[in-house]
Amino acid sequence: MRIALPGGDHTLREPVTWARPAGPARSRIAYAAAHVTADPLGDNTPGSPAVVDWETTLRFRRHLWSYGLRIADAMDTAQRNMGLDWTATRELIQRSAGEAKEFGDPVTLVACGAGTDHAPQARTLDEIEAAYTEQIETVRDAGAGVVVMASRQLAAIARGPEDYHRVYGRLLTQTDRPVILHWLGEMFDPGLAGYWGSGDVAEATASFLALIREHAPMVDGVKVSLLDAEHEIGLRAALPEGVRLYTGDDFNYPSLIRSGSHALLGIFDAIAPAAAAALQALDDGDLGRYDEIMAPTVPLSRKIFETPTYNYKTGIVFLAWLNGHQNAFNMINGAQAARSIPHLSEVFRLADRAGLLVDPELAVHRMRSLLAVNGL
C-alpha cells in the first residue's frame, strides 16, 4: 500500500502483530504517561476549560494496562499546564484510579501527578505547600500513587535550594507512602528553568540528591526528564539504595532502560505494543531482540519530541487517532495545530517503519483525510 506524502510517496510495510504479554515486566517497572482525548463536540479552543471525552480516554488506559504497563496519569502528556485545568485533572485522577480497580491495585497500576497548577496566585512557600498538599490528598483519596510534579509557582519564587528543601521536605514528612519525585527539564516546560535552586545542572543535582538522601524512605523513585543520558546514569548511581530512577528521556530510553533505569515515558503511550514486547525480551535475557524492537522506535520518538519539545503531545495524539484509539484528531486547548503537516507526515512514516500502524488501511485513510483538509 502506498500513500503520497509531503516529501515523497511512502510504501507501507506489512503490519506487525504484537502479542500481549502475560503480565507486567519483571525486570523493570514501566509507566506509560497517558494522553487525554478531547470531546470533539466540546469547546476545546485555546484558553477554554478542557472538555474531555471520558469514555475514549479511559478506553485508552485499558489498552495500556492490557500490555502490562503501568500508567502515569494527569501529568505532562495529559497536557498539564497546557490546557488540562484542575477541574478536569481532578476528575481524570478519580476516573483513572477507579478504572484501575478492574485490573488490580490502583496504587500499583496508576500514579497521578500532584502539583500547584490550580493555584497560579500562590506567592509564598506556605501557599505553594498548601497547593501541593491539596493535590496530593486528591490523588491519595482516589487510591492512586503520587508523583510530585515540578511547580512553576515554586520555580518563580524560590531563592535557592533551601526553599525547595523546605517545601518538599514538609511534603515528604506528611505522606503516608513513598512518592515519585519529578524533575522536568526546561525543554519540556520553560517555566521550570533553574529547578532545585540553580541553573547549573551539577549544582541542581547536588541539591536534588541532598533532598532525596534526607527523605529516602518516602521516595519510591525519581522521574528525570532532562534528555541527557550521561547525567541520568550518574544520578542513578548516586541515588540511595531502594530509590529507583525512572527515565523520562524520550531520546535515549532504550540504552538507559537496558543499563538499569526503570521507565516513566510519554513515548510509551504511542509505542506500548513494541515497548511491552521489548521489555519481555529484556526479562528473557534476549538483548538482541530487545535492541531489534526498540531501535526503530527511537527515530519516531525523536521526531515526536523534537524542538519545541513541549509540543510532543500533538504527535502522541496523532498516532492514537491513526491507530483507531479515538475518532477525531483534536486536542484540548486546540493543540492539534501545534505541529505542521510535514512533521506529522514524517511521524506517519516513522511509525510505520517501527511497526506501529496496526491497521494500515485505517491509518492511510485517516492520513489522506488530514492531507485533504489541508489542501494536499
Q: What is the pLDDT of residue 248?
A: 97
Query: In this model, does residue 155 exceed pLDDT 90?
Result: yes
Q: What is the pLDDT of residues 201-258, one digit of tens each?
A: 999 999 999 999 999 999 999 999 999 999 999 999 999 999 999 999 999 999 999 9
pLDDT at position 222: 98
240 φ/ψ angles, rounded to the nearest 5 degrees: -60, 155
Mean pLDDT of 162-176: 95
Say what percent of the chain tops pLDDT 70. Answer: 100
- Tens of pLDDT, residue by residue over 354-375, are 999 999 999 999 999 999 999 9
pLDDT digit string, tens, across residues 281-317: 999 999 999 999 999 999 999 999 999 999 999 999 9
Tell me the average pLDDT across 121-129: 96
pLDDT interval class at 174 (50, 70, 90) = confident
% of the chain surpassing 90 pLDDT: 99
Q: What pTM does this model have?
A: 0.96
Q: Average the pLDDT over 340-346 and give the result.
A: 98
Q: For all residues of the chain together, what is the average pLDDT?
A: 97
